[in-house]
Amino acid sequence: MRRILAAILLTAALLSGCTTTALPGSPRAQVVDPGTVAGRDVTSGTSGPRPGSRDANLPVTNSDRGIIDKLATNTIADVQTYWSRKAPEVFGRPLPPVRALVSYDSTGPNQLVCNSSTQGFSNAFYCPSQDLIAWDRGELLPRLVEAHGQMAVPVVLAHEYGHAVQNKLDLVKPGSLPLVLEQQADCFAGAFIREVVDGRTEHFVLNTGDGLNGVLTAMFSLKDPVRGDPRSPRAHGNAFDRVSAFQFGFNDGPRRCAQIDNTELNSRVTEIADFTDGTDLPITIDSLNTTLAALNLAFPLGGKPPRVTVTAAECPDAKPTSPAAYCPATNTITLNMPALQRIGAAPQRGRPDSFGDFAAFAELASRYALAVQQQAKLPLDDETTSLRTACIVGAWSAATSKKPPGDRPHIGDIILSPGDLDEAVAEMLSNRSLIASDVNGKPAKAGFARVQAFRIGFLDGFAHCQHGFNS
Ligand SMILES: [Zn+2]
C-alpha cells in the first residue's frame, strides 16, 4: 500500500461526501449463506485419495508408477469422466479424451516433450498441437503435495485439462487476452473440484472445511509473481483473481467459465486494473493514522468514529483479540503494535503469521467494520458477522484501489499496491484470520466463504455487505 499525492488527496476529499453506502446493485450481486460453502454445509472428514478406490489404468508415457504418477493418472481419469458427462450437457458436444499423457522428471535427464526440454522445467502443461498433457513428477508436483497435500495434483491437472477443453470445444474467441485462457482454466478446475466435493469422483474425496481450504491455498501458491505482466503469454493471474475464477466454476459450473472473455475480464480482474506500483508501508503509528483517516472518510458514522488506542483496557462485552480488538461497549479499537508489525512484515518461510503490510491494515479495517456494524445495529458475534466483516473490508479495499470497480470513486489518501489483495487472501485462508472474524475473533468456518465474502464487497460495494449476509 502507498500514500498518494496531495493533489489526488484533494480530489478524493471532494468526492467523499457522496460515496459511502446505498450503491446500486450489479449483475454480480449474490448472497452467501453463512456456515455453508456454495449452499453445502461446511464438512470435515477425509480429503485426498478416496479410501479403497482402485488406481486408474490409463496409458502414461515415461511413468515411474510412483505416488505422484498415480495421483496424476487418477486425476485425469476423474476429470475425463466429469467432462464426458458435462460437455454434452453444457456445450451440446461430446469431448474426446486427450490423446496422450506424459510424465517427466525435471531433475532427471533431458527429454523433448512437445518440443520443450524437460530438464529444469518445473511445470505441467497442455500441448494443443499434440493434444497432450504432461507433468513434472520430479519437482513441481511433489513440492506442491508436500506444501498443500495430495489434492494439489487434481487442482493443477484439472486446470491443464481445462486448456484441453477450451481448445477442443473452441471456447475462446480469437483476440482474447492470454489471461482469458488462464482464468477459464482456473474456473474449469473449480467446477471439477465441486464434483469432488459432491462425492461424484471415483478416486478423490474432499471436505469443504480444511480440505477445500488446502485446495485454495494450493491455488494461491500458483499465483503470478507480484508485478507480473498480466498481458504476458505466461500470465496466470494474481491469487485474488485466480481464486475468484476458481470460485465461479465451483459455484456456477462450466457455463459460467465459458462467459469469461476480454470484456468480462476487464470489468473484474484486478491484475489488469491500473494498480500503481508502490512499496509496502511500514506499520507505524503514522501509517495507521493515515489508514484510519481513510476509514473515517469511507464510513462517516455520524461523526462518531471508534476511538483507537494502543493501551490495553478491559472490555465488558467482547473477548480481546490480537493484534487489533474492537470493544462495542466503549466503541474503542485497541491495537497491539508489535503483533500488528509482525502481521504486516513481508511473508517469509518459517514466519507463517507474516502476510505483508496490507494484511495489517485490513485487520485494523476489520475491527473498524465492527464499529460500522454496531452503529447499524447488526449482531457482532456470529458467523454472519464474520462474513459481513470480510465483505466490508473488501468494499473498503476497492475504495482504496486507484480505479475502484464500477463507477465508484477512490476514497482516502492511500492506494493499493500490486500484491495487496493477495496479502488479504493469504490472511483469510489462514486459521487465525481476523479480517473474516467476529468481535470475539472467531473466523467464519470456511476459507472459501471468507474469500467469497471479501470479493462480493470488493466487486459489488458496501450495500451488498448489508443485504448479502442477512442470517
Ligand atoms: Zn494454464
Domain-located, residue 70: yes
Asked if 255 and 315 sit in the same domain, the reply is no
Residue 237: which domain range?
42-266
431 and 333 inside one domain: yes
**How far apart are the CA of 93 and the centre of ligand 1, in A?**
23
CA of 125 to the centre of ligand 1 (A): 7
Q: State in Å: Cα 163 to ligand 1 middle.
A: 7
Give the number of other CB atoms < 10 A from CB of residue 264: 14
Question: How far is ligand 1, taken at its centre, from the CA of residue 141, in Å?
Answer: 15
Predicted local confidence at residue 229, as pLDDT: 55
Within a domain: 34:
no
- Does any domain span residue 435? yes
List the Cα angle 28/396/6 in 5-degree steps: 130
Q: Are residues 288 and 336 in the same domain?
A: yes
pTM: 0.83
User: At 8, is the secondary structure helix, strand, or coil?
Assistant: helix
Q: How far, in Å, is the centroid of ligand 1 from the Cα of 190?
A: 13
Last residue of a domain, one of 229, 244, 266: 266
238 with 292, same domain: the answer is no
* In a shared domain, residues 449 and 304: yes
The whole-number pLDDT of residue 99 equals 97
pLDDT of residue 221: 77
C-alpha cell at 283: 506499520
Cα-to-centroid distance, 373 and ligand 1 (Å): 41
Mark residue 62 as left, alpha or beta (left: phi above 0; alpha: psi -120 to 50; beta: remaining).
Answer: left
| 338 shares its domain with 460 | yes
How would you classify the pairing of strands 307-309 and 332-335? parallel
* pLDDT value of residue 405: 77
Q: Ligand 1 centre from 257 Cα, in Å?
A: 14
The pLDDT, as a whole number, for residue 23 is 27
429: left (phi over 0), alpha (psi -120 to 50) or beta: alpha
In this prediction, the residues of the chain whose per-residue pLDDT falls under 70 are: 1-35, 223-236, 270-279, 468-471
Measured CA to CA, the distance from residue 380 to residue 469 in angstroms comes to: 13
Q: Tally the domains of the chain.
A: 2
Question: For residue 349, what are the CA distances in angstroms to 110, 143, 291, 346, 395?
Answer: 31, 14, 28, 10, 30
Neighbours of 12 (CB within 10 A): 21
Q: 63 alpha carbon to ligand 1 midpoint, in Å?
A: 22
124 C-alpha vs ligand 1 centroid, how far in Å?
9
Centroid of ligand 1 to alpha carbon of 220 (angstroms) = 14
pLDDT at 277: 54
| Spatial CB neighbours of 366, under 8 Å, sequence gap ≥ 6 | 324, 389, 390, 392, 393, 434, 435, 436, 437
Q: Is residue 271 part of a domain?
A: no
Q: Do 218 and 91 belong to one domain?
A: yes
Report CA Rg, the chain. 23
Distance, CA of 145 to CA of 287 (rounded, Å) = 39
Q: Which of 390, 379, 368, 394 is nearest to 299 (CA)?
A: 368
